[in-house]
Amino acid sequence: MRPTNMRKLSFSLALGALLPLAAMAQNDIDQGARDSAAGAAAARHTSDSLDGIWRRSGVVTLNMTQVSLTNWAAGGFSSISGIGMFNGAANWKKGRRAWDNSLVLAFGGQQIEDADPVKTDDRIELNSKYGYELNKAWYLAGVFQFRTQFTEGFDAEGNRISNFLAPGYTLLGLGFDYKPNDKFTAFISPATARLVIVNDKKLFGGSEDPDLRVYGVKNGNTTELELGGYIRAMYKTDLAKNISFMTRGDLFSNYLRNPQNMDVTWETLWTFKVNDWFAATFNTLLIYDHDTNLPKTDADGNAYTGPATQFKQTLGIGLTWKL
């Protein structure tokens, strides 16, 4: 056979071998394109099906502790205590509109022997934010907040120092919300109105001083209007299958009086789930409000009242429902 014919035969054989491979490769490419298109269509369908649907989440915790002592040589006191807490959220999104809501309810108490029961926790906080998407991750939004407590509170001497709506806080602001994903959000408002309520005259102790303020409200009034800047940020995530973490913080500066004294609220919540019913929770709450006067002692041991950083931590193990 001539070399030329040999080359033609070799080329024909190689071409015959490559054509099926090329066809298979083309089939793989076509199948990949079809799979990609199907995946994109499924994602759009899922997104469309969830559009306008409420997404709810929350944690309900009930922790109880009981100690009973009879002729106990080591000493101590019988006691019973408990704390109940609800920390939930309900979020809605449709098209370019989004509405996020959260509610925190907590109440706890303790009784030692025959003494009067005392509170260990008392909190009501509602937050609502409605926004319209301007572009990716940025929303024009309005925010509403309400904070108070369930019942009256007393100091170590038995004097009433707080009550329902004493204080109470309502906040309304307009600004921009940065929300790059479902885990993080930050709201910034340069123009926010906050109304402080003290609806209990006994907290003024019968004083006739018109300049006396309790929680920022002047003696003789029940409300104080504040105008200022407000920032609120929140981050939540699942660190592991049975561990979730949430943190949120608020900053408020009153332009009308002492704007340098910023009010700070910072909270964290850890949930360590054991099973469907039992879990451990660790909650911290830090508050600084320059208008809240607390008992203090100077270097010479003299007692006085003034602003101070408040901090509370709660560790509980008990019944937990994760909604």
Query: Does residue 16 surpass a pLDDT of 80?
Result: no
Query: Does residue 155 surpass a pLDDT of 60?
Result: yes
Q: Domain coordinates of the chain in residue numbers?
A: 1-50, 54-322
State the average pLDDT for the chain: 86
Q: What is the pLDDT of residues 93-114, one digit of tens each?
A: 999 999 999 999 999 999 999 8
Distance CA 256, CA 253 (A): 9
Q: What is the pLDDT of residues 35-56, one digit of tens each?
A: 555 554 444 444 444 578 999 9
Query: Does residue 194 surpass a pLDDT of 80?
Result: yes
pTM: 0.81
Q: What is the pLDDT of residues 238-285, one digit of tens each?
A: 999 899 999 999 999 999 999 999 999 999 999 998 888 888 999 999
Distance CA 291, CA 269 (A): 26
Q: What is the pLDDT of residues 171-183, one digit of tens each?
A: 999 999 999 998 9
Query: Does residue 61 surpass a pLDDT of 80?
Result: yes
* Per-residue pLDDT band at 28 (split at 50, 70, 90): very low
Query: Does residue 217 surpass a pLDDT of 90?
Result: yes
Q: What is the pLDDT of residues 118-135, one digit of tens each?
A: 999 999 999 999 999 999
Distance CA 292, CA 214 (A): 7
| Arch. (CATH architecture) of 54-322 | Beta Barrel (2.40)
Query: Does residue 19 surpass a pLDDT of 90?
Result: no
Contacts of 29 (CB under 8 A, 6+ apart): none
- Residue range 198-211: average pLDDT? 94
For residue 290, give the nearest of 262, 269, 313, 311 by alpha carbon: 262
For residue 93, give the nearest of 128, 127, 141, 131 by alpha carbon: 131
The β-bridge partners of 58 are 88
